[in-house]
């Protein structure tokens, strides 16, 4: 069937900020979709509030709306764009829910917009678990029995029928938020109460448990001619009970006979047909009873999903891309398989390798959170590895995690069963490692299978690893055969060294190379070698035949950022992808190395060559060697993927790898405290007073010298790990004992903590001569809240020209002093008119994409070019960089606000206080002509609309009371009823704010049962909460309870007075009437026009460089 001719313009809804359960896999799908739509000559518009995405790059659509993904805002966009079709199946649950809401409000009908891919009925049948049971009944498929309840009491009755344990699932929540197991009535009651609140429709499904069964997923596609194919089968190593997103998963399925597999396939097709997904991809999950083979359908997602992204990377079959073509009316046979080019997409990929995905968790970021894995997702990212065997893939995946202790340990002393068996039994983030230790301690496969529910086949593979490790340890000396055997099972040089004990990693490598034990690179070709692959998508294996073809042009390797984690997410992938585009255009052959299946960078369309490999020194060196065998490697880019590649720079250079851009030595200058101190000193710049302590005594001495409060942290940090603000000796001692194993090797850094300081983030580009200031971002929250967690605004709204000039000079001095070639991110704090330098990161920063979107400058692209020798001046001539720079944005440039999104709702009970340790998973951008509106948009995109009336509760630390008066008064004037705790209320009353006193939790209820504030919050009587932590940031009972109640009730909760001040402006903007929407393209046109009108720029240009020249 040919493409439909009645659809000329399409609106795509993205998935918004990165949150747990919805990460950058939807940027990958969305970007593919946009590409297809444009290639098909349609007019494409997009709504997505996440600026860190590739899909929101203006060149991917005619109109890119970086606006909140809410029915209200999307309606505005529809009104402005009048699209023929709406594509909501590529933006995860967010897009799907929004589409349903738009339909229910009659918006789609009103504007005559057709929902493409899945109809409303199909979405409902798939997503609404009650309706879905009907689907299963209709096709005679088996499922776990369940009942939908709207009250706790109903739930208890149902429990009577189904028995415990039970699975609770709030309807329409992301990644199963709020769901889990209730083992008894008490648990049932509390979980149900919370779940009913969390569900947007206030329903919870109470379901029979099939805990411990084997779990499978099928990725299915259907076209409008009713052709169906299975793209990939996925088997979970973790049995039912652990969310697939948190499970170690394997493709293809390993333990199904053809009979069982075909039955599953038949059911999957019956489901997608019955649900009525007309075209596109769906994901269907099954549970299989290992004892009887009984199969039950768990759920289906009528859209592309995390698993479909994984399946696409695992098979080379681009589900999102093809789903989009199908939505336009093509049929599978009309779409070529772009890997073989000669065969059609109407087939089922066959794998001759094994794929293993392992999730990445961030529990260390949330002290007090429960690390037990259950039915709702807790992981923040994932890695994927390919190998010619399960063992090879598994071990590559564990080292791809870049997490201490993730690589399987066969070297340390064997522990005891008593210690390890319980750990192996409890599903948690390190269960795989525990299972291996239990095995080493003597647990049999039978025991472990019984205890963990993990299939014996997988357990035997782990046992096999143990045997290989034993051979390694036992071998008289390492000969080629022993080494090769170990390598074939994925053992890294590090592991081998540890097992041998007498060797270091480098020694093993030298020996291995001397013996000629090297990996070959195989190709992902969708067809198990039946047809030739035209796409260079490779993975390493210690097998016989290498498939790397010679390169034509000079090659540049770009090292990616590995698994998403807090502190290193999609923003870094964004910069890597831009480097691929820019360097390809500049005539290089781009070679991407990464192991994160969710990303755009690991789409084989993004770079000229893709290596799906771990980002360890060993794996990268082998890729470099392979690429050198097949052509000239002019450089390796380590600056764009965050700390991961940056950390490899020195070792790669020592191994003779050409690192382009900022040299490893220069990187060291910026990262090593002492060295950086000297750089600042030479430049006449100030850092907060600081010292380095090797013991508690030293720490105490230093602190007393520089004075409290101080900020303490271990010397090696990423994303502010282990940082705390300390106000007194007691806490200092406690910190030293608790948070660090302080020692000469691991000193603790002590900094004077700057109170009441404005924090400023700067992203800049330096070519050795000239500085291009990308942007100056003013944080909303004061210094002390991690730059990644605080909202910020660009252009800065309270900084004057003089400040910006100072910042510019300081940045340039640092760039020069460090010797930056490429990107530089500097964090400043301004306190009492002193400009302090907090830190400098000689790499792409988290904010680079935000700056690019806000200022219409492709910073990362320019950086990539500069790293390979282009000058800022040259890039200005090419038109990649504008005249002038981010320091002199036109006055009428739009105001862009970045707000961080925090995963509190995922970690019940964890205090929601912000601090120097980064905790956010993603970000959104609000853009408009004025600050208030832009801020309001950012809040709505991140947490939901700010209230425009109602009740506000305020309770702040003494140090904040003064700053509270004006915003609180303003709210009162705006007609808000102000509730406050005694202390805060007094201050407000004295300042003419009629504040009502409410009981603290610690006061308890009054004798006539007067409610405490927590009661009132839970009762939904409060619309806005302002609660700043008292003194130091430990969970003080009241504040803690208040903030947690706010989270569970989904009420906006501001934890800094600065945020309140901004919120007040936002609320005023909201009340002053209609908020409009505008595409990025229009904002950018405005900036560009103003720039060219401005004529001679204040900074930049050759003149600028010589002026600022070395002094």
Residue 465's Cβ-side half-sphere holds a number of Cα atoms within 13 Å equal to 32
Closer CB to other proteins, 312 or 607, in the complex: 312
C-beta of 924: minimal distance to ligand ADP in Å? 19
Give how far the C-alpha of residue 625 lies from the chain's centroid of Cα atoms, to the nearest Å.
31
The residue among 464 and 675 lying less far from other proteins, judged by its C-beta, is 464
Is 939 strand, coil or helix?
A: helix
Of other proteins, ligand ADP, Mg ion, none, which one sits near residue 754, judging by CB under 5 to 8 A according to partner kind? ligand ADP
* Minimum CB–partner distance for residue 308 and other proteins (Å): 18
Comparing CB distances to Mg ion, the nearer of 7 and 711 is 711
Determine the residue with CB nearest ligand ADP: 176
- For the bound state, the minimum distance from the C-beta of residue 263 to other proteins, rounded and expressed in Å, comes to 9
Largest CA distance in the chain: 85
Q: Of the candidates 109, 137, 161, 266, which one interacts with other proteins according to CB under 8 A?
A: 266
Taking the C-alpha atoms of residue 956 and residue 837, their distance in angstroms, rounded to an integer, is: 29
Number of residues that this document lists for the chain: 1111
How crowded is residue 1038: how many other Cβ atoms within 10 Å of its Cβ?
19
Which sign, positive or negative, has the C-alpha torsion 410, 413, 414, 419? negative
144 binds, among Mg ion, ligand ADP, other proteins, none (CB under 5 to 8 A by kind): ligand ADP
Q: Are 52 and 849 in contact (CB under 8 A)?
A: yes
Please choose which of other proteins, Mg ion, ligand ADP, none residue 785 contacts, taking the beta carbon within 5 to 8 angstroms, the exact cut-off set by kind: ligand ADP
119 binds Mg ion (CB under 5 A): no
Which 48-107 positions form the footprint of other proteins (CB under 8 A)?
none
d(CA 300, CA 296): 12
Q: Nearer Cβ to ligand ADP, position 356 or 1045?
A: 356
Under 8 Å CB-to-CB from 295, ≥6 apart: which residues?
Answer: 142, 260, 263, 264, 267, 286, 287, 288, 289
349 near other proteins (CB under 8 A):
yes
Dihedral sign from CA coordinates of 172, 178, 181, 187: negative
Residues binding ligand ADP (CB under 6 A): 144, 167, 175-176, 207-211, 215, 240-244, 285, 298-299, 375, 688, 711, 717, 719-720, 751-754, 757, 759, 783-787, 827, 829, 838-839, 916
348 is an interface residue for other proteins by CB under 8 A: yes
- Taking the mean position of all CA atoms in its chain, how far away is CA 262? 35
Minimum CB separation of residue 223 from other proteins in Å reads: 9
Closest approach, Cβ 177 to Mg ion, in A, equals 12
Question: Which strand (E) or helix (H) includes residue 749?
Answer: strand 748-752
Q: How far is the CB of 1100 from ligand ADP (least distance, A)?
A: 27
Please state whether beta strands 922-928 and 895-901 pair in parallel, antiparallel, or not at all (unpaired): antiparallel
Residues 6 or more apart whose CB falls under 8 angstroms from that of 380 comprise 20, 23, 360, 361, 362, 564, 565, 566, 903, 921
3-state secondary structure 779-809: EEEECCCCCCCCCEEECCCCCCHHHHHHHHH
By CB under 8 A, residue 351 contacts other proteins:
yes
Single out the residue of 630, 637, 644, 627 nearest to residue 658, CA to CA.
Answer: 637
- Which helix H or strand E contains 980, and what residues bound it? strand 977-980
- 829 binding partner (options Mg ion, other proteins, ligand ADP, none; Cβ < 5 to 8 Å by kind): ligand ADP
Single out the residue of 1031, 1055, 1032 nearest to residue 1043, CA to CA: 1055
CA atoms of 922 and 430, how far apart (whole Å): 25
Q: Is 332 in the site for other proteins (CB under 8 A)?
A: yes
Compare residues 25 and 392 and give the one whose CB is closer to ligand ADP: 25
Q: Which stretch binds other proteins (CB under 8 A): 152-160, 164-172, 337-345, 997-1005?
A: 337-345
Q: In what order do the strands lie in the sheet with 690-693?
A: 690-693, 748-752, 710-714, 724-726
List the single partner that 193 binds among Mg ion, ligand ADP, other proteins, none, CB under 5 to 8 Å by kind.
none
The site partner of 759 among Mg ion, ligand ADP, other proteins, none (C-beta below 5 to 8 Å per kind) is ligand ADP
> CB under 5 to 8 A by kind: which of other proteins, ligand ADP, Mg ion, none does 457 bind?
other proteins
Which residues within the stretch 780-819 sit at the binding site for Mg ion (CB under 5 A)?
787
Query: HEC profile for 602-622?
Result: CCCCCCCEEEECCCCHHHHHH
Residue 457 sits in the site that holds other proteins (CB under 8 A): yes
- Number of residues interacting with other proteins: please give it, by CB under 8 A: 56
Binder of residue 259, out of other proteins, ligand ADP, Mg ion, none (CB less than 5 to 8 A by kind): other proteins
Residues 370-399 that bind other proteins (CB under 8 A): 388-390
Instruction: Tell me the closest approach of the beta carbon of residue 779 to ligand ADP, in angstroms.
Output: 7
DSSP strand pairing (822-831 vs 834-841): antiparallel
Whichever of 299 and 618 has its CB closer to ligand ADP, that residue is 299
Out of other proteins, ligand ADP, Mg ion, none, what residue 445 binds, judged by CB under 5 to 8 A for its kind, is other proteins
111 binds other proteins (CB under 8 A): no
By the rule CB under 5 A, 173 interacts with Mg ion: no
- Smallest separation (angstroms) from ligand ADP to the CB of 301: 7
Distance (Å, whole) CA 309 – CA 599: 9
Which of 140, 186, 258, 992 is the binder for other proteins (CB under 8 A)? 258
Question: Taking a C-beta distance cutoff of 8 angstroms, is the pair 206, 147 a contact?
Answer: yes
Determine contact, residues 167/375, Cβ cutoff 8 Å: yes
The yes or no reply on residue 292 touching other proteins (CB under 8 A) is yes
Residues of span 156-215 touching other proteins by CB under 8 A: none
What gap in Å lies between CA 693 and CA 673, rounded to an integer? 12
Stretch that binds other proteins, among 250-258, 652-660, 785-793, 1004-1012 (CB under 8 A): 250-258
Cα gap 880→857, rounded to integer Å: 8
Q: Tell me the closest approach of the beta carbon of residue 790 to ligand ADP, in angstroms.
A: 7
Q: Are 422 and 428 in contact (CB under 8 A)?
A: no
Residue 701 CB: number of other CB atoms within 10 A? Answer: 13
Q: Which is nearer to Mg ion, 750 or 964 (CB)?
A: 750
Does 821 engage in binding with other proteins (CB under 8 A)? Answer: no
- The site that binds Mg ion (CB under 5 A) totals a number of residues, namely 2
In angstroms, rounded to a whole number, what is the distance separating the alpha carbons of residues 117 and 303?
Answer: 8
Per-residue mark of binding to other proteins, 520-539 (x: CB under 8 A): --x----xxxxxx-------
Q: Which is nearer to ligand ADP, 242 or 592 (CB)?
A: 242
The 10 Å CB-count burial string (b at 16+, else e) for 166-175 is: bbbbbbbbbb
- Pattern of binders to Mg ion over 748-787, x per CB under 5 A? ---------------------------------------x
At residue 74's C-alpha, the angle toward residues 71 and 75, to 5°, is: 80
Instruction: Give contact residues for other proteins (rule: CB under 8 A).
Output: 1, 225-227, 229, 233, 252-259, 261-262, 265-266, 290-293, 331-333, 342-344, 346-354, 388-390, 445, 455-457, 460, 464, 522, 527-532, 543-545
For Mg ion, the binding residues (CB under 5 A) are 787, 827
């Amino acid at each position: 069937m040919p493409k439909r001719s009645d659809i000329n313009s399409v609106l795509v809804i993205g998935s918004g900020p990165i949150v747990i359960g919805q990460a950058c896999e939807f940027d990958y799908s969305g970007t593919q979709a946009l590409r297809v739509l444009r290639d098909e000559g349609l007019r494409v518009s997009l709504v997505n509030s996440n600026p860190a995405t590739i899909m929101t790059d203006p060149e991917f659509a005619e109109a890119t709306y970086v606006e909140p993904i809410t029915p209200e805002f999307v309606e505005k966009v529809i009104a402005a764009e009048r699209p023929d079709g709406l594509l909501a199946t590529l933006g995860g649950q967010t897009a799907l829910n929004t589409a349903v809401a738009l339909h229910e409000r009659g918006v789609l009908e009103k504007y005559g917009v057709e929902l493409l891919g899945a109809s409303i009925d199909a979405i409902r049948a798939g997503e609404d678990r009650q309706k879905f049971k009907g689907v299963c009944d209709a096709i005679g498929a088996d499922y776990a029995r369940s009942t939908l309840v709207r009250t706790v009491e109903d739930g208890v009755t149902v429990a009577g029928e189904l028995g415990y344990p039970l699975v609770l699932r709030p309807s329409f929540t992301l990644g199963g938020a709020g769901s889990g197991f209730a083992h008894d009535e008490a648990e049932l009651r509390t979980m149900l109460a919370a779940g009913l609140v969390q569900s947007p429709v206030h329903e919870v499904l109470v379901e029979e448990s099939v805990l411990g069964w084997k779990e499978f997923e099928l990725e299915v596609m259907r076209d409008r001619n009713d052709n169906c194919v299975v793209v990939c089968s996925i088997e979970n190593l973790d049995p039912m009970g652990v969310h697939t997103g948190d499970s170690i998963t394997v493709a293809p399925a390993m333990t199904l006979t053809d009979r069982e597999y075909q039955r599953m396939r038949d059911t999957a097709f019956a489901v997608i047909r019955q649900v009525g997904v007309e075209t596109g991809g769906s994901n269907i999950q099954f549970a299989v009873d290992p004892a009887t083979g009984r199969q039950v359908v768990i759920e289906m997602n009528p859209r592309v999903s995390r698993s479909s992204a994984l399946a696409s990377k695992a098979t080379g079959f681009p589900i999102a891309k093809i789903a989009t073509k199908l939505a336009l009316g093509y049929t599978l046979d009309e779409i070529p398989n772009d890997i073989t080019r000669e065969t059609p997409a109407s087939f089922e990929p066959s794998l001759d390798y094994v794929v293993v995905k392992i999730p990445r968790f961030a529990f260390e970021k949330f002290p007090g959170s429960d690390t037990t894995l259950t039915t709702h997702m807790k992981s923040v990212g994932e890695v994927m590895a390919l190998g010619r065997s399960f063992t090879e893939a598994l071990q590559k995946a564990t080292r791809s995690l870049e997490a201490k202790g993730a690589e399987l340990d066969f070297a340390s002393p064997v522990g005891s069963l008593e210690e390890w068996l319980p750990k192996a039994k409890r599903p948690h983030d390190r269960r795989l490692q525990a299972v291996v230790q239990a095995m080493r301690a003597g647990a049999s496969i039978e025991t472990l299978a019984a205890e963990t529910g993990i299939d014996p086949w997988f357990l035997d593979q782990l046992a096999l690893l143990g045997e290989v490790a034993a051979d390694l340890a036992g071998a008289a000396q390492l000969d080629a055969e022993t080494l090769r055997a170990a390598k074939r099972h994925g053992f890294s040089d590090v592991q081998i060294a540890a097992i041998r004990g007498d060797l270091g990693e480098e020694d093993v490598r030298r020996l291995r190379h001397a013996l000629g034990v090297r990996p070959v690179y195989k190709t992902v070709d969708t067809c198990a070698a039946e047809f030739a692959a035209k796409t260079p998508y490779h993975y390493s294996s210690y097998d016989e035949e290498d498939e790397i073809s010679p390169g034509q042009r000079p090659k540049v390797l770009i090292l990616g950022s590995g698994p998403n984690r807090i502190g290193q997410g999609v923003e870094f992938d964004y910069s890597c992808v831009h480097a691929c585009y820019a360097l390809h255009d500049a005539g290089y052959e781009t070679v991407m190395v990464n192991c994160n299946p969710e990303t755009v960078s690991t789409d084989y369309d993004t770079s000229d060559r893709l290596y799906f490999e771990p980002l360890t020194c060993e794996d990268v060196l082998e890729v470099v060697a392979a690429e050198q065998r097949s052509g000239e490697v002019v450089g390796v880019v380590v600056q764009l993927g965050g700390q991961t590649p940056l950390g490899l720079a020195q070792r790669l250079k020592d191994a003779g790898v050409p690192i382009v851009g900022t040299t490893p030595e220069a990187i060291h200058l910026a990262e090593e405290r002492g060295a950086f101190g000297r750089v600042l000193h030479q430049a006449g710049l100030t850092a907060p007073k600081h010292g380095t302590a090797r013991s508690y005594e030293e720490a105490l001495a230093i602190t007393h010298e520089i004075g409290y409060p101080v900020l303490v942290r271990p010397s090696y940090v990423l994303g502010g790990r282990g940082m705390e603000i300390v106000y007194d000796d007691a806490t200092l001692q406690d910190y030293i004992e608790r948070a660090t194993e302080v020692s000469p090797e691991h000193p603790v850094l002590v900094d004077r903590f700057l109170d009441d300081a404005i924090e400023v983030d700067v992203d800049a580009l330096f070519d050795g001569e000239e500085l291009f200031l990308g942007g100056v971002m003013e944080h909303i929250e004061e210094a002390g809240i991690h730059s990644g967690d605080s909202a910020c605004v660009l252009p800065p709204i309270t900084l004057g020209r003089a400040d910006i000039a100072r910042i510019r000079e300081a940045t340039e001095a640092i760039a020069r002093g460090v010797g930056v070639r490429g990107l530089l991110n500097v964090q400043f704090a301004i306190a009492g008119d002193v400009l302090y330098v907090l830190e400098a990161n000689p790499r792409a920063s988290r904010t680079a994409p935000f700056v690019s979107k806000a200022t219409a400058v492709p910073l990362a692209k320019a950086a990539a070019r500069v790293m390979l020798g282009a000058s800022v001046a040259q890039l200005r001539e090419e038109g990649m960089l504008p005249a002038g720079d981010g320091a002199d944005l036109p006055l009428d440039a739009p105001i862009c606000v970045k707000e961080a999104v925090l995963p509190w709702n995922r970690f019940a009970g964890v205090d929601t206080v912000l601090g120097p340790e980064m905790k956010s998973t993603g970000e959104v951008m609000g853009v408009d002509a004025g600050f208030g509106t832009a801020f309001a948009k950012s809040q709505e995109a991140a947490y939901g609309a700010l209230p425009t009336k109602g009740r506000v509760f305020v309770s702040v630390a003494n140090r904040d009371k003064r700053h509270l008066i004006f915003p609180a008064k303003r709210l009162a004037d705006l007609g808000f009823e102000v509730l406050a705790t005694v202390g805060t209320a007094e201050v407000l009353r004295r300042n003419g704010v009629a504040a009502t006193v409410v009981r603290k939790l610690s006061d308890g209820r009054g004798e006539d049962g007067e409610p405490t504030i927590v009661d009132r919050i839970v009762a939904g009587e409060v619309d806005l909460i302002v609660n700043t932590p008292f003194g130091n940031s430990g969970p003080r009972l009241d504040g803690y309870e208040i903030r947690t109640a706010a989270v569970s009730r989904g009420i906006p909760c501001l934890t800094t007075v600065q945020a309140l001040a901004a919120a007040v402006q936002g609320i005023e903007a909201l009340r002053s009437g209609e908020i409009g929407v505008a595409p990025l393209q229009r904002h950018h046109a405005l900036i560009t026009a103003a720039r060219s009108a401005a004529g001679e720029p204040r900074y930049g240009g050759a003149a600028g460089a010589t002026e600022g020249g070395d002094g």
